[in-house]
Structure 1
C-alpha cells in the first residue's frame, strides 16, 4: 500500500507509525512539507518518507498512490483534500476537516461530486474502547431515550501551553478552539443522541494564559512543563504573553433535534485533567472518563450498578484508539469493513462547533436550521448523506 503525505507534522507522524505497525508493508512514497517536523521521529522509527515534492500537484501528478494523508494546518485541508479527489486518490484527513461554515459547504459539494466514501477522517475517539463500550450499553437498552448529557474536555497546563505556542493559537489557521480540540467530543455525543444539534449557546474567554499570570521567574521544572509538548510550524516560546487569539475556557449548551440536551465544558489549564461524561437516559445513566479510564452504568429503576469497566489507555495515543484506528483503516482497505466514523459525521460535528463559537462571539442563541439546510443542499441527496453517517 503506497501512501503520500501532505503536511508531515507531529500528529501525522504518529498516525503513520501506527499504520506501519498495523501493516509493515505500507510504504510512504512521497511527501510535501517545506519543514516536516514529524520526519525525525519517523526516521528514529526507521520509516522513510519517500520523495520530497515542493507542491501537492507535482506529487499527485508523479506518483501512483493508494491513499493520500492530509496533515497540513487546518485551513489548508480543503485545498489538499480537493487536490487528492481531483487526482482520483482516496484521502485521509486529520480533524477538523475544515475551519469555517463556507468551507463546510464547499467540501459538502465536493463530496456530492466525488462521493463521501472517497474521504476518510481521523476522528479517533470513535475507535476508543470506552466509546465502543458506551455504544454497546446503549444498544443493549441500558440507557433508553437520551435526555441529557454533561461532558468535558479538560487538558493539563502543559497541553494548554502548547496551544498558546503552536500555529493552532491562530484561529485563521486552526479555526476556533472548540472546533480544533473538541470536535471529537461533539461527534461522539451527537452519535449517542442520534440527532443533530439544532440550537446552541456558549460563553468563554481567556483567564489563564494571560500576562498577569506569567510566573516571574520560571523554575526549570516549570519551563520544562510549559514547553514539554513540541511545536513545529509557527512555533513560539511565549505562553502567557504571546499573540494567540484563541480562548482558554468555554462552556456550551446544545439542544438536539430530538429534544435531548448537552452541557459541555472545555478548559486548557486543568492540573488534574479529565475528559468525562455523564449521559442520562430514560432507563439508566452512563458515566465515564477517557483519561481516568473508567466506565459505569446504573439502572434507573433500581439504582443498581450493572456495568463497571476500567481501561489501561493513555492520552498520548488517544487511550489506545490511535492503534485501533490504524488497524481498522487497514482492514477497511483490505476487506471493505465499514469504519465507525465518516467524513459527514466529521463535518456535522465541525459545523456544530463553528456555530457554538459563533454563539459565544455574538452572545446570542444560535439556531442551526438554516445551516443544516445549506449543508444538505450542498450534499445534494439523502443517499450521499447516508454514506457517511454512522450515528
Structure 2
C-alpha cells in the first residue's frame, strides 16, 4: 500500500504502525509536515518515509498514493481532504474531521460533489470489542428500545496536562474540547440510540488546571505526572498557567429524535480514570468501561445477568481497536468490505459536539432541527446517500 501523509504527529504515527501490521508492503511515498513529531517513532517501527513536500497539492501532483492519511491539526483537515478528493485519492482522516459548523457544511458539500465513500475516518472506538458486544446485545433484543444513557470520558491528570501543553489547547486549531476528545463517545451513543440529537444543553468551565492549583515547587512525582505524555508542534511547558482556551470539565445533556436522552460528563483531572457507559432500555441495561475493560448486560424483568465479559486492551492502542481498524480499513480498500463507521457519522457527531459547546457558552438549550436541515441541504448532491 502506497500512503501519502499530511501531518505526522504522535497519533498518526500510531495509526501508521497499525496499518503497517495490516500491510507488510506499506510504504510512505510522501510527507507534508514542517515539524513531524512522530517521524522518529515511525522510523523505529521499520517504515521508511519518502520525500518531504511543502504542500499536499504539491505532493499529490508528484506521487500516486493508494491512500492519503490526514493527521494534521484539525483546523487544516478540510483543506487537506479537499486536496485529496480533487486529486482522485481516497482519504483517511483522523477525528474530528473539522472544527466548526461552517467547515462541517463545507465538508458536506465536498462529499456531495465527490461521494461519501471517498473519505474514511478514524473513529476508532467503533472497532473495539466492547462496542461490538454492546451492539450485539442490542441485536439480540437484550436491551430493547433505548430510553436513557449515562456516559463519561474521564482522563487522568497526565493526559489533561498534555491538553494544556499541546496545540490542542487552542480552539482555533482543535475546536472545542468536547469535539476534539469526546466526538468518539458522542458518535458511539448516537449509533446505539439510532437517531440524531434533537436538542442539547451544557455546562462546564476550567477549575483544575488554573494558577491557584499549581504546586509551589513541583515534586518529581508531579513532574512525572504532568509531563509524562510528550507534545509536538506548538507545545508549551506550562500546565496550570497555560494560555489554553479550552475547558477542563463539562456536562452535557442530549435529547435524541427518538425521545431518548443522555447525560455525558467529561473531566481532564481524574486520578482513577474511566470511560464508561450505562445504556438503559425497555428490556434491559448494558454497562461497560473502555478503560477498566468490562461489560455486563442485565435483564429488566428478572434482574438476571445475561452477559459478563472482560477485555485485555490498553488505552495506548484504544483498547485494542487501533489494529482492528487498520485491518478492517485495509479490507475495505482491497475488497470493498463495509466499515462500522462512515464520514457522515463523524460529521454528525462533530456537529452535535460543536452545538453542545455553543450551548455551554451561551447558556441556552439549542434545538437542532434547523441545523440538520442545513446539513442535509449541503449533502443534497451526495450520490450514495447516508
TM-score (norm 2): 0.99
Determine whether 1:208 maps to 2:208: yes
Residue 218 of structure 1: how far off its partner (Å): 0.8
Determine whether 1:346 maps to 2:343: no
Residue 384 of structure 1: how far off its partner (Å): 3.8
Separation in structure 2 between the aligned mates of residue 301 and residue 385 of structure 1, nearest angstrom: 39
- 1:317-336 paired onto structure 2 within 5 Å: 317-336=317-336
Contact 2:115/2:383 (8 A) holds in 1: no
Separation in structure 1 between the aligned mates of residue 371 and residue 288 of structure 2, nearest angstrom: 32
Is there any run of 5+ residues in structure 2 with no aligned partner, and where? none
**Secondary structure in 2 aligned to 1:244?**
coil
Separation in structure 1 between the aligned mates of residue 154 and residue 320 of structure 2, nearest angstrom: 19
- 1:252-267 paired onto structure 2 within 5 Å: 252-267=252-267
Moved more, 374-383 or 218-227: 374-383
Separation in structure 1 between the aligned mates of residue 377 and residue 58 of structure 2, nearest angstrom: 33
Residue 42 of structure 1: how far off its partner (Å): 1.0
Residue 96 of structure 1: how far off its partner (Å): 0.1
Indicate the residue corresponding to 1:155 in structure 2: 155
Determine whether 1:290 maps to 2:290: yes
Deviations 1:232-266 (A, max 9, x none): 00010000001000000000000000100000000
- 1:1-391 paired onto structure 2 within 5 Å: 1-380=1-380, 384-386=384-386
Is there any run of 5+ residues in structure 1 with no aligned partner, and where? 387-391
Separation in structure 1 between the aligned mates of residue 330 and residue 89 of structure 2, nearest angstrom: 16
**Secondary structure in 2 aligned to 1:353?**
helix
- CA 83–153 in structure 1, closer or farther in 2 if over 3 Å, else same: same
- CA 50–166 in structure 1, closer or farther in 2 if over 3 Å, else same: same
Separation in structure 2 between the aligned mates of residue 90 and residue 311 of structure 1, nearest angstrom: 33
Contact 1:344/1:385 (8 A) holds in 2: no
Number of equivalences: 386
Separation in structure 1 between the aligned mates of residue 68 and residue 297 of structure 2, nearest angstrom: 40
Residue 49 of structure 1: how far off its partner (Å): 1.3
**Secondary structure in 2 aligned to 1:134?**
helix
Separation in structure 2 between the aligned mates of residue 348 and residue 341 of structure 1, nearest angstrom: 12
Separation in structure 1 between the aligned mates of residue 179 and residue 224 of structure 2, nearest angstrom: 28
Indicate the residue corresponding to 1:389 in structure 2: none
Separation in structure 2 between the aligned mates of residue 134 and residue 118 of structure 1, nearest angstrom: 28
TM-score (norm 1): 0.98
Residue 224 of structure 1: how far off its partner (Å): 1.5
Contact 1:149/1:279 (8 A) holds in 2: yes
Separation in structure 2 between the aligned mates of residue 382 and residue 228 of structure 1, nearest angstrom: 44
Separation in structure 2 between the aligned mates of residue 379 and residue 10 of structure 1, nearest angstrom: 33
